[in-house]
Amino acid sequence: MKNNKKFKPLSLKLFTSIAGTVALIVAVFCLFNALFFPKYYMKREQEHLALTLDSVSNILNRKDFSVIDKSIELEKLSNDTNIDFIIFSPDNTVTYSSVPQSAIRYRAVFPRSSNKNAKGKNLLKVTPENNSYIINTNYLTALNTETIELFSILKSGYSVQLLTGVAPIKNGIVIFNKFILTLGVLCCFIILVCALWISRSLTRPLKELSAIANDMSSLKFEKKYEGSSNDEVGLLGESMNKMSDKLEKSITNLKNANIHLAQDVNRYEELVNSKNEFLSNVSHELKTPVSIIEAYAEGLSEMSLDESTRNSYCEVIIDESKKLNLLFRKLQSLMNLTSGAEHLDIQRYDISSQISEILKQKELLFRQSNLKVEFENNMPIYVWADEFLIEEVLLNYLTNAMKYSTGERLCKIKAEITDGTCRVSVFNTGNHISDEEAEKIWSSFYMIDKSRKRENDSQGLGLSIVSAIMKAHNKSCGMENTEGGVTFWFDLDASE
């Protein structure tokens, strides 16, 4: 089922999440600052006034200070704290004021004997050094300004009035809020840039892993994760690399298994076809001699024949019986070799001597077939092989040379050693064998010239027996078209 959901990159989700969180935090911070900071600031300013009152009281109580010294210290304190002082003597005359004389008349004067407001609420407070005071805000209509005023009657009899303007406080709050807002926007920008970088850094290896996974789904395993991070992404990359290697090995093994299975199926089909062909060929080979024997046997039993004709019929029956017997023996030998029932008797012997002995035994046959045979090597050559079966190979090669040699009818035998291997080759003059037929001549019952089959008393089993014998020795055999004729060869392990 096709997924119709719109793709949303993880980096975008991460970026928007961080950006939204930061924006929300800044907005909440600005809201809390606007709602609660002014009250907090006013409260701290009142505490500052109370602490300044203690400092003023300490200066006024200094007996080692003259009036001038006290005025200088009070002026310094006023400048340092940005608070105005109005100090009254016990007789209510101004002894010190940082406020211009023209503005004193606009200041409210609190009653010296009362510590309650009109509603009866107790306004009396105490500083850390036990100086009682009353604090309140006051709006001066004439000056169009609002102040925070602290009034206290000290134990020394002085009355102290501390004043600080509300307007500077409000301006400071506004400036502070603007600063916080600007700082918040700047922090948001920096954090968003960092969030963008972090999101890309975190999603880059995930994109790489996604590309590797896509290749793996297409059975491509060349790409590997090359990250070196020691986190969950790194562990995932290592796991994907291991999975990629295992999948590649499994698929390779599966493909090899499929190839072997296909080869086995082909071999099985070839075996079945070969078996069917073999049975067909056996039936064909048996059909002719059996038919001949049957016909001549019926002639002997049903016809009135003279002695000479009867002897002739018997000779034909005997001859065809011998051919059948030879065919059966060759088939038995071939079956034993191909099934592994034939046990090799490997011995070390001189193959040159073996070849010479065979040529001596078959000399009459060579002369009758008008075949000239040359053996170019009479030096001893020792090999490891089953002497009886190798003799069968040599006899088959020589038999083919007698049957198929043409022209000058020459056969040359060579035995040569190269790199511990002895190659025996049998050359005979004659026509070349085509590449197509060169592959078939090693099959059972195959003959190049089928019209001469009975003329040569051949069943087409000779070279298939040679092939089976050499396979039993785990050695090679073959055929080559050479100048003037054809060369058949086989290899054996040579012995020093």
pLDDT tens across 36-73, in order?
Answer: 777 887 788 888 888 888 888 888 888 888 888 888 88
Q: What pLDDT band is residue 282 in, cutting at 50, 70 and 90?
A: low
Interval 72-87 mean pLDDT: 86
DSSP state of 121: -
pLDDT band for position 451 (cuts 50, 70, 90): very low
The domains of the chain, with CATH numbers, are 10-179 (3.30.450), 224-342 (1.10.287.130), 343-495 (3.30.565.10)
pLDDT tens string 338-388:
666 567 788 999 999 999 999 998 888 898 889 999 997 768 999 999 888
The Cβ of residue 46 has, within 10 Å, a number of other Cβ atoms equal to 18
Is 117 in contact with 151 (CB distance < 8 Å)? Answer: no
Cα 465 versus chain centre, distance: 52
**Average pLDDT, stretch 91-98?**
80
Q: How far apart are CA 395 and CA 387, in angstroms?
A: 12
DSSP 379: S
Res. 412: pLDDT tops 80? yes
- How many Cα atoms sit within 13 Å of 314 on the Cβ side? 7
Residue 146 near residue 140, CB atoms below 8 Å: yes
Residue with the bigger pLDDT between 439 and 59: it is 59
410-418 and 372-375: which strand pairing?
Answer: parallel
Q: What is the average pLDDT value for the chain, to the nearest integer? A: 77
**Pairwise pLDDT comparison (206 vs 467), residue with the higher score:** 467
What separation in angstroms does the CA of 303 have from each of 290, 291, 295, 370, 484?
Answer: 19, 17, 11, 40, 52
pLDDT above 90: residue 10: no
Question: Band of the pLDDT at 482, cuts 50, 70, 90?
Answer: very high
CA–CA distance, 364 with 371 (Å, rounded to integer): 10
β partners of residue 372:
410
What pLDDT was estimated at residue 121? 43
- Angstrom distance (rounded) from CA 429 to CA 138: 140
Decide if pLDDT at 209 tops 50: yes
Q: Is the dihedral of CA 76, 80, 84, 86 positive or negative?
A: negative
Residue 471: CA count within 13 A, CB half-sphere: 14
pLDDT tier at 220, thresholds 50, 70, 90: confident
Assess contact for 247 and 220: CB atoms under 8 A: no
Spatial distance between the Cα atoms of 293 and 299, rounded to a whole number of angstroms: 10
Mean pLDDT along residues 322-344: 64
Closest CA to 293 of 279, 278, 307, 314: 314
pLDDT, residue 94, reads 82
DSSP letter (8 states) at residue 4: -
Residue 269: in which H helix or E strand, if any?
Answer: helix 232-302
Name the token pair of 444.
Answer: 């059972």
- 113 pLDDT band, cuts 50/70/90, is very low
Q: What is the pLDDT of residues 152-202, one digit of tens each?
A: 888 878 888 888 877 666 676 677 777 777 877 787 778 778 777 777 777
pLDDT at 284 over 60: no
HSE on the CB side for 145, CA within 13 Å?
A: 14
